Homo-oligomer: A and B are copies of this chain.
Amino acid sequence: MKQQVFLVSDSTGITVEALGQSLLAQFPQIVFETSIHRYVNSVEKVDAICQQVADSASRSKHKPIILSTLVQGPLRAKLEQADAHVFDIMGEFLTPLEEIFHSQASPSLGQTHGQKEDAEYQQRMDAVNFALINDDGVTGKHLERADVILIGPSRSGKTPTCLYLAMQYGVYAANYPLVGEDFDLMVLPAALVKHKNRLFGLVISPARLHEIREARRAGSEYASLKQCQYEINQVNILYREHDIPTCEVTNRSVEEIATRILPHLPISS
């Protein structure tokens, strides 16, 4: 028996999706069937959701659950009438906040487009371009503009981490691969020496790196466990010798890696 969950948002749904995921993950014993409903910004659209909820309720012995980040009062009131357990997230918090602030919330549909937000958005998009141009040390020309330069063996996750740092936090993140002779000579690549204080090293287990590389080039020396062990052993010495801060990435998502790097950055968030 599946528990139906309706996630309802008047905007992108990113907030309600994140919160829903966190909450439902606390009940691993229950099987959820989740649907997300974005841009629900009119009475008609709320009515349509209520109809779907009613259909779902009639087919199941478990009342559906609605998690909603709807902001506007009339839409929230309408949704409350649905045949479901309704969790009105905005209502839950806005009312006490209004009391604390002695001031009314002004429904803005969550999307504010002030000058500050525009500048922040522009920075995020510029940072994405920067990450693309400065991926894998291709040019090495713009490194002085970087907030951080990720280093590590090939396939340790540098590129997606840079893109996430850029997209989500507007961080100018470059990355530079460590390759053959860097490991053998145990020296930092010349291009990196003057940017030493902006380096950040990714650490991954040899077994996991081996697995990732095998998926790409099965049976190659590059993918062999022996080669992975060698490279990781060498980079770890390199990190230590040059006092480079590191992040363990083996069982971590790009979100986890990025948010662990953030506190080390000048524009820390």
Chain A residues within 8 Å of B, Cβ to Cβ: 3, 11-15, 18-19, 21-23, 25-30, 36, 38-39, 63, 65, 69, 71, 85, 87, 89-90, 92-94, 96-97, 100-101, 103, 105-108, 110-114, 121, 125, 128, 132, 135, 159-160, 163-164, 167, 251, 253-256, 259-260, 262-263, 269
Query: Contacts A12-B255, A15-B18, A167-B167: A101 and B25 contacting too (C-beta < 8 A)?
Result: no
Q: With A12-B256, A15-B22, A27-B101 given, can you name 9 additional A-B contacts, CB distance below 8 Å?
A: A12-B259, A14-B18, A15-B18, A19-B89, A21-B110, A26-B94, A89-B93, A113-B251, A128-B163
Shortest C-beta distance, A255 to chain B (Å), equals 5
Contact A14 B90 (CB under 8 A): no
Q: Which residue of B lies closest to A164 (CB)?
A: B167
Residues of B contacting A110 in the complex (Cβ-Cβ under 8 angstroms): 21-22, 25
Oligomer: number of copies: 2
Contact A254 B39 (CB under 8 A): no
Shortest C-beta distance, A137 to chain B (Å), equals 15
Contact A255 B14 (CB under 8 A): yes
Contact A111 B256 (CB under 8 A): yes
Residues of B contacting A159 in the complex (Cβ-Cβ under 8 angstroms): 128, 132
* A-B pairs with beta carbons under 8 Å apart, 25 shown: A12-B255, A14-B18, A15-B18, A15-B19, A23-B94, A25-B112, A26-B90, A26-B94, A27-B97, A27-B103, A27-B106, A28-B106, A28-B108, A38-B259, A38-B263, A39-B259, A85-B96, A111-B253, A111-B256, A128-B159, A128-B160, A132-B135, A132-B159, A163-B167, A164-B167
Query: Contacts A90-B22, A128-B160, A160-B125: A103 and B255 contacting too (C-beta < 8 A)?
Result: no
Residues of B contacting A135 in the complex (Cβ-Cβ under 8 angstroms): 132
Query: Contacts A18-B14, A96-B87: A105 and B26 contacting too (C-beta < 8 A)?
Result: yes
